[in-house]
């Protein structure tokens, strides 16, 4: 594994980092096999010609937990984000070989929770398939770290994320106000078995696929925040 202390500082300073060689080819194939065996007819599954997604991924396919949380991955988590964090969201994205799915620049501004209740400075709310999401206070968003596990080699030709370094420290940064006179853009290419770590407030986008190659990613978010009043994370999973 690479110099994790430097990678950790890069994550804090720039809002993202790429670390390859976290999983072996065999470990990736075992994860893919578990996904391929699942029933895709549930409400938490979204399937179109441009995208196949599984919300609450670790809940829907619990047999992947032991496959994902290997000793190597746990060591990465401990050194990059600490010991007292837990899973708060998990999504699987499969961008097919001929996908025209394009995502413009945005920040990830919502969290998944168990119910809708009135809390000061929380909102707006959305509901999809009985799943509740809300924009929380910014300190909660700043606390989250996302790790994207790549099941395929990914570059700018099959949907690697493009990011604006250091945009995660600028609060709510509306895409229409991006100042390209001072901002730069970086493409985060990741090898199969590698991971990309990022802060949700980092401005990021994804282009269409042009090389006829898949892009399959498991996106897992971690936090150590206890939500206010009786609100709870919808997908909390302790992995220690």
Average pLDDT over the chain, rounded to whole? Answer: 92
Mean pLDDT over 150-155 rounds to 97
State pTM to two decimals: 0.94
What's the pLDDT tens digit per position in 15-71? Answer: 999 999 999 999 999 999 999 888 777 766 776 655 588 899 999 999 999 999 999
Domain boundaries, the chain: 4-223
pLDDT score of 18: 96
What is the Cα 79 distance to its own chain's centre?
A: 18
**Residue 155, CA distances (Å) to 53, 199, 213, 216 in order:** 20, 20, 10, 12
3-state SS class at 218: strand
Note whether 154 and 228 are within 8 A (CB): no
What's the pLDDT tens digit per position in 71-103? Answer: 999 999 999 999 899 999 999 998 877 666 788
Note whether 47 and 39 are within 8 A (CB): no
What's the pLDDT tens digit per position in 97-106? Answer: 766 678 899 9
**The CATH classification of domain 4-223, taken from the options 2.60.120.620, 3.40.50.300, 3.30.930.10, 3.60.90.10:** 2.60.120.620
Structure tokens at 155: 């570059």
**Residue 67, CA distances (Å) to 24, 29, 122 in order:** 11, 10, 35
pLDDT score of 48: 65
Does a cis peptide bond (omega within 30 degrees of 0) precede residue 37? no
DSSP E strands, 179-232 = 186-187, 195-198, 204-206, 215-223
């Amino acid at each position: 594994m690479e110099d994790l202390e430097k990678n950790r500082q890069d994550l804090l300073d720039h809002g993202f980092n790429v670390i390859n060689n976290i999983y072996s080819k065999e470990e990736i194939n075992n994860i893919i096999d578990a996904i391929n065996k699942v029933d895709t007819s549930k409400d938490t599954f979204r399937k179109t010609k441009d995208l196949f997604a599984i919300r609450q991924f670790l809940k829907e396919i619990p047999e992947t937990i032991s496959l994902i949380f290997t000793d190597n991955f746990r060591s990465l988590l401990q050194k990059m984000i600490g010991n007292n964090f837990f899973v708060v969201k998990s999504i699987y994205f499969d961008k097919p070989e001929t996908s025209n799915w394009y995502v413009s620049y945005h920040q990830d501004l919502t969290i998944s929770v168990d119910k809708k209740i009135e809390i000061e400075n929380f909102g707006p709310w959305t509901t999809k398939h009985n799943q509740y999401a809300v924009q929380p206070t910014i300190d909660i968003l700043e606390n989250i770290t996302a790790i994207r596990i790549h099941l395929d080699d990914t570059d700018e030709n099959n949907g690697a994320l493009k990011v604006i370094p250091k945009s995660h420290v600028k609060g709510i940064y509306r895409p229409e106000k991006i100042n390209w006179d001072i901002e730069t853009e970086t493409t985060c290419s990741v090898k199969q078995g590698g991971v990309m770590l990022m802060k949700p407030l980092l401005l990021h986008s994804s282009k269409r696929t042009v090389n006829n190659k898949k892009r399959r990613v498991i996106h897992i978010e971690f936090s150590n925040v206890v939500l206010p009043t009786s609100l709870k994370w919808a997908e909390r999973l302790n992995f220690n």
